[in-house]
A and B are shown apart, each in its own frame.
Chain A
Amino acid sequence: MNTELNYFLQTTSNGISLGSMYSMIAVGYSMVYSLLYQVNFAHGDLYVFGTFIAFSFISMALPLPVAILAAGLLTALIGMTIERTVYRPVRYANRIVPMISALGAALVLRTAAQIIWGPEAIAFPQFLPGGSFNLGGFTLFHKNIIVLLFATALVVGLTWIMNHTKFGRATQCIVENMEAAQLMGIPLNKIIPLVYGLGGFFGVIGGIMYSGYYGVISIDMGIWGTVKAWAAAMLGGVGNFYGAFLGGLILGVSETFAGAYISSAAKEALGYIVIVLVLVFRPNGLLGKKKVVKV
């Protein structure tokens, strides 16, 4: 196999892996975003906080699945607390108000993480298996496949929950029409916190995969995580998990290609460029539908 092609395939598989992790973070983000249709600035810092928690649990030599699950549950709890203290009191206020209180929550989480785990990037255990397949010169790592499978399972599972459980259907009603949902007897103050919790849970899974894949965790992952998740969710179409998944993959692949063929600066800019282009040309995203107009 010639070097050019090999480089191309390597870039593609790296891009798909990065995209899978963006997808996982974006799915949780999309879920929360669709409830109130506002940028959730706390999502990035929440999932990084949770990933730090997982780091501490793994450092304590807890078995990996237990550490991941416990970190996910704790983060869900923090997400629910944020809903209760930061979002609920301003639920019916002008939409700029919850945005600002979310910024405040993000700042609290970021600072707390800095106090607990320090400001430096730290090494995260690379728990994903290290093996690889050799396909005629091109190396496909096992972990490339694992993150993609994990992200797929997560999106399929979450979509199933949304369409086939009472909780999922209630969430869809709230997303579509909060007042009518209340008239159906759907308790907002039970369902909405659960959505925040679930969004945090899936965000952490994405964060742990990311840190496990690259072997590093840092507080900065929060800010760019919010941007990437926002870009991916918007690109795919907000409220549509397959959209967030697709958006994450497209963003990951195109970023990796920009980094490999143009420059690493181009890679960093791409998330922001995507947000601007989507907002200008396709505000409903690739798979997003306009709300059906009432007759």
Chain B
Amino acid sequence: MLLSVENLWVFYGPIEAIHDVSIQVDQGEIVSIVGHNGAGKSTLLKTISCLLKPTAGQIKYNDGVINGTDPDKVVSAGISHVPEGRQVFASLSVYDNLMAGAYSRGDADGVKRDIDMYCQRFPILGERLHQRAGYLSGGEQQMLAIARALMSRPKILLLDEPSLGLAPVVVNEVYRIIEEIRKDGTSILLVEQNANRALNVSDRAYVLASGQIELSGTGKEMAENDDVRKVYLGV
């Protein structure tokens, strides 16, 4: 088991956000969490990244407990998080954004090689390497946010709403990249409101509603489940 969340409870002050949630991600899997706005999806990812502290429960990664450590230790351990809304450093150049992603690494040569590699893989980043990230379009910023997160060479990538606010053709591109990343051996925990797209690429999926896991199964099962189709896919 690469990542396992066990009986997690998270509160914002008196307000309960995550209610006894347990999920798992295996090596090489794409696992998605679908649910409406406000269901607690982003909270769950932020707790895994140690931006938030859980009230109860454990987060285990490679059999070690990570909750209670600092976010930078989580990154060094191999968990990288692409936050909701991209959150690229708008006033910094594309290059400096990628360098920021490599903060936890000490191998300058390897970092340089990785930047070259991502510039080829995402040509738009290569073309705009020395422009401010704030001048990129939404889709380009999403590519940058993903490349920036991969710069730390994670074993597992947490993706929060990667298709939010993007044109359908750009969403296709993002999902093509997600499948490529998995082929390279990085596991993915994907959070989406766009359940249709997420379930199609996922090995397994969970439905999160009001902070609780309501359903779980393989991506295919979930996509065919009548309740899921009615409530989350709108068909």
Contacts and interface: CB of A to CB of B under 8 A. Distances in A.
A125 B167 CA distance: 68
B71 A182 contact: yes
A294 B83 contact: no
Interface residues of A, number: 24
Contacts of A294: 85-87, 90, 134, 141
Contacts of A186: 72, 100, 103
B51 A183 contact: yes
Nearest to B139: A295
A157 B74 CA distance: 33
Contacts of B85: 294
B105 to A, nearest CB: 9
Contacts of B88: 180
Interface in B9-23: none
Contacts of B101: 184
Given A169-B96, A184-B148, A176 B90 contact: yes
Interface string A185-208: 111110000000000000000000
Contacts of B99: 169
A179 interface: yes
B202 interface: no
A177 B51 CA distance: 13
B134 to A, nearest CB: 3
Contacts of A292: 90-91, 132, 134-135
A260 B22 CA distance: 73
Contacts of A179: 51, 83, 87
Main SS at interface, chain A = helix
Contacts of B91: 172, 176, 289, 291-292
B44 interface: no
A104 B72 CA distance: 31
A185 B104 contact: yes
Nearest to A179: B51
A294 B76 CA distance: 28
A180 B51 CA distance: 10
Interface string B71-86: 1101110001101011
B209 interface: no
Contacts of A183: 49, 51, 71, 75, 80-81, 83, 87, 149
B104 A291 contact: no
A75 B135 CA distance: 40
B92 interface: yes
Nearest to A180: B87
Interface in B128-171: 132, 134-138, 141, 148-149, 152
A218 B204 CA distance: 69
A257 to B, nearest CB: 35
A293 B141 CA distance: 13
A237 to B, nearest CB: 13
Contact of B100 (A173, A189, A295): A173
A173 B141 CA distance: 16
Contacts of A188: 72
Given A169-B100, A170-B103, A181-B100, A189 B70 contact: yes
9 contacts: A172-B92, A173-B89, A176-B92, A180-B87, A183-B83, A183-B149, A184-B152, A294-B134, A295-B141
Interface of A: 166, 169-170, 172-173, 176-177, 179-189, 289, 291-295
Given A169-B100, A172-B89, 16 more contacts: A169-B96, A170-B103, A172-B91, A173-B100, A182-B71, A183-B87, A184-B100, A184-B101, A185-B74, A185-B152, A293-B90, A293-B134, A295-B136, A295-B137, A295-B138, A295-B141
